[in-house]
Chain A
Amino acid sequence: MNANNEHKKYLKKLKWHTIKVAFSQIMLLVLFIVAWQILSDKGIINAFLCSSPKKVVDTIINLWETNDLLIHVWVTLKEILISFGLGTIIGIVFAAFLWWSPFASKVLDPYLTILNSLPKVSLGPIIIIWAGANQNSIILMALLISVISTIISVYVGFKQTNITSIKLLKSFGANKLQIFTKVILPSNLNTIISSLKINLSMTFVGVIMGELLVSKQGLGYLINYGSQVFNTNLVITGVILLGILTSILYFIILFVENKIKKEW
């Protein structure tokens, strides 16, 4: 009875703690927005350079009314989903190939290291020449930025798979494909998910970079256009919309991760 009470108290405390954290998180955001608005109203910060929450909302409504908002968001989202999907698949397949052939992985090791440290943005101009000033360039750029790190992190995970597990499968007479599908892949689900998270932010960098260089639509275009016509409202609105988009995609990955982990 006593222990039961104690447990109830403990649960209450836990719940209260969660509420406190969530409340503080929201308050921090509200405070920031309010302060931003007041500072620009009072003329302490330059509203023309720094915009203000009201102006951002106005800009969003404006974009909505001219039907531009969804188009720009959709174009960026589409580019992200395509390059993210391609990057993930190519990355995992290539990592599997490296695991499969230790010889190939030894041969390719220095090249992967160089490619990984090379700022892929510097390839932007040549990509535009090759793929044309269109969405293909943007997707290719994002793919290049994300795929190398995916390959490396997934391959490292594959290589560090528990040796006894592999020995066990060999003792049952498993072939290489069975070892891959029964141990290597499932035991690296965590590695793959965490590389997805990194992959996602890399893809964002690539897509926005590409859109800044060549595009007629998308959030990157919006930001670039805003800065060219010195419309800081548009620039900041673009950045905020991007922030919202990343968080949504990030939470989707987290949701999937929790779904999988709940099982075991």
Chain B
Amino acid sequence: MELLKIKGLSKNYLTKKQVICALDNINLDINEDEFIVLVGPSGCGKSTILSVIGGLENKSGGEITFKDDKVKIGYMFQEDALFPWLTVFDNCMLGLKIQKQNTEENKKYVRYLLKKYGLASFEKSYPKELSGGMRQRVALIRTLATKPDILLLDEPFSALDYQTRITVSDDVFKIIKEEKKTALMVTHDIGEAISMADKVIVLSNRPAVVKNVYEIKMDDKNLPSINRKNAKFNEYYNAIWKDLDHYER
């Protein structure tokens, strides 16, 4: 069942000197519970797709249709953007407070999420007391607290060091699957894309168009860190690597 349909999406950035065409005729269908990853060369406009879907920026043309009006969007950024002056719990309540849903029930839900993902004892801590991986988990719970139907992840692991990145990818993946969320992630890391996605969409250089779509089919699909060792992983990796034609610019 399609949750989100994107048809002929285009986006231009206007400056004094020129019109920069960031997206050109992007077509994309996202089904419920699907994990879709967009990869593309840096600066190709992949983050722009998320910004437009999330309503942070206006589109220049095309159509974005949701299943119904009730579809809620949650955003996660490269920076965790936790507020240092709020406790972990209050950080997680931020979205709910803004949407004026600061109810007892929602507070309970946030506590439940924190407990489930091993952060219960840090409820009253301030973000500076947490490790990079924990911070990113808190950021995800802050997004999940508003009960979004679709998560937009904008290079959520890029600010982390390699090892943390692998473990946090596992954590985030597990949380998204357990909470049964649909996800659209943007990354420039091919390995990250293949290990997490149901479907990888390769974008071209600017203006971005969909260059190729890969359904990631592995036997006994597992956590991202384990998928990386799957026999099929390298096959996909090489194919996508070729698509990205790094030297052709």
Asked if residues A263 and B85 are in contact (CB atoms below 8 Å), the reply is yes
Q: Scan residues 92-134 of chain A and give those whose CB is less than 8 A from a CB of chain B.
A: none
8 Å CB interface, B73-106 against A: 73-75, 77-79, 81, 83-85, 94-95, 97-99
Interface of A is mostly: helix
Task: Determine if B56 is an interface residue (Cβ-Cβ < 8 Å).
Answer: yes
Give CA–CA (A167, B54) in the complex, Å: 10
A243 within 8 A of B: no
The segment out of A68-76, A180-188, A193-201 that lies at the interface is A180-188
Query: Which of A17-25, A150-158, A171-179, A215-223 makes up part of the contact surface?
Result: A171-179
Minimum C-beta distance from B214 to chain A (A)? 28
Q: Which of under 10, 10 to 19, 20 to 34, or 35 or more describes the interface residues of A? A: 10 to 19
Contact of A167 with B98 at beta-carbon distance under 8 Å, contacts A264-B84, A264-B126, A264-B128 already known = no
Known: A172-B146, A174-B98, A182-B98. A167 touches B83 (CB 8 A): no
- Which residues of chain B are within 8 angstroms of A167 by Cβ–Cβ distance? 56, 75, 77, 81
- Cross-chain contact A169 with B128 (CB below 8 angstroms): no
- CA separation between A168 and B145, bound complex, in Å? 14
A183 touches B83 (CB 8 A): yes
Residue A5 at the chain B interface, CB threshold 8 Å = no
Q: Do A173 and B98 have beta carbons less than 8 Å apart?
A: yes
Cα-based distance from A164 to B80 in the complex (angstroms):
9
The answer for the CA separation of A169 and B55 in the assembled complex, in Å, is 12
From residue A49, how far is it (CB to closest CB) to chain B in Å? 53
Q: Are B95 and A172 in contact (CB-based, < 8 A)?
A: yes
- Total A-B pairs in contact (CB under 8 Å)? 49
The answer on a CB contact under 8 Å between A172 and B99 is yes
User: In the bound complex, do residue A186 and residue B85 qualify as a contact, i.e. CB atoms below 8 Å apart?
Assistant: yes
Q: Which of A171, A173, A187, A189 has the most CB of B within 10 A?
A: A171
Complex CA gap A162/B146 in Å reads: 22
- Please give, as numbers and ranges, the residues of chain B lying within 8 Å of A78 by CB-CB distance: none
- Cα–Cα distance between A168 and B98 once the two chains are bound (Å): 11
A178 to B83, CA, bound (A): 14
Q: List 30 A-B contacts (CB under 8 A).
A: A162-B79, A162-B81, A164-B77, A164-B78, A164-B81, A167-B56, A167-B75, A167-B77, A167-B81, A168-B77, A168-B94, A170-B56, A171-B54, A171-B56, A171-B73, A171-B75, A172-B94, A172-B95, A172-B99, A172-B146, A173-B98, A173-B99, A182-B94, A182-B98, A183-B83, A187-B85, A264-B84, A264-B85, A264-B126, A264-B128
> Would you list the 6 A-B pairs with minimal beta carbon distance, nearest first?
A171-B75, A172-B95, A164-B79, A164-B81, A172-B98, A174-B98
